[in-house]
Amino acid sequence: MAKKSPSTPRREDALSRDRIVEAAIELLDSAGEPGLTFRALSDVLATGPGSIYWHIANKSELLVSACDALIAQTMASVDEAGAPEARIRAIALGMFAAMDEHPWIGSALLEAPGQSPMVRLFERIGQQVQALGVPDAAQWTAASTLLHYILGVGGQNAGNRTWAQTRGIDRAHMLGSVSAAWRALDPTEYPFTRAAADQLRDHDDLGDFVAGIDLILSGLRGLSAPDARRRPAARNERRP
């Protein structure tokens, strides 16, 4: 009797959407977005693509679900007992850390502006803006500014780190090279950039990120002040 060829091992536990998303995150972390394919996912999960398609329609849905899972986890870590400013800082720091650990999050969010991950983050930020007492007319601008700052700076930091890692360049060497290039610029055309060269070389990414959040919060405090709420907008003011 002919021997049967060994078959691919199959998972004995029931495949779930959560397990698929978990495996997708692992693939995205190790191989980036190009490495996230249903074939690769099938190998990780020891199952057929059909079983995955039963839970997830396509790669776009999978990417959004993976991003949403991490943002939900980050939002769950924010202490609701703190003051609004403290919660905003916690949200910002949580997202900075999440994007640093999972660099693909930034691009995934930008590709799904109206879907659950972005909405989940925007809602959480907006609630804190309301709790700060920012006037209704300024809440959209305030929440949008915080959202774009967090995603922009956090995403850029993650992108820079990934860029350096793929080229085998450490951070100190990269910043030192850019700093030297800045110092060599024409002093007449680039006076500010040349003056900032040493700060670039020695700066702390996380420290600068938090300082930017505090700068935005300082502006929001001005909007929330009683005098600011009573004062009419400049364009509506008339000279006597």
As a whole number, the mean pLDDT across the chain is 86
**Domain residue limits, the chain:** 83-224
Distance in angstroms (rounded) separating the CA atoms of residues 143 and 193: 30
CA neighbor of 117 nearest in space, from 63, 159, 157, 64: 64
Highest mean pLDDT among 107-111, 112-116, 142-146, 204-208: 142-146
Distance in angstroms (rounded) separating the CA atoms of residues 56 and 74: 23
8 A C-beta contact, residue 145 and residue 126 = no
CA neighbor of 176 nearest in space, from 159, 199, 155: 199
163-196 pLDDT tens trace: 777 788 888 888 889 999 999 999 999 999 999 9
**Residue 37 in 3-state DSSP?**
coil
pLDDT band at 227 (very low <50, low <70, confident <90, very high): low
> Which CATH fold would you assign to the domain 83-224?
Tetracycline Repressor; domain 2 (1.10.357)
pLDDT band at 7 (very low <50, low <70, confident <90, very high): very low
17-50 pLDDT tens trace: 999 999 999 999 998 888 899 999 999 999 888 8
Distance in angstroms (rounded) separating the CA atoms of residues 77 and 72: 9
Distance in angstroms (rounded) separating the CA atoms of residues 99 and 206: 12
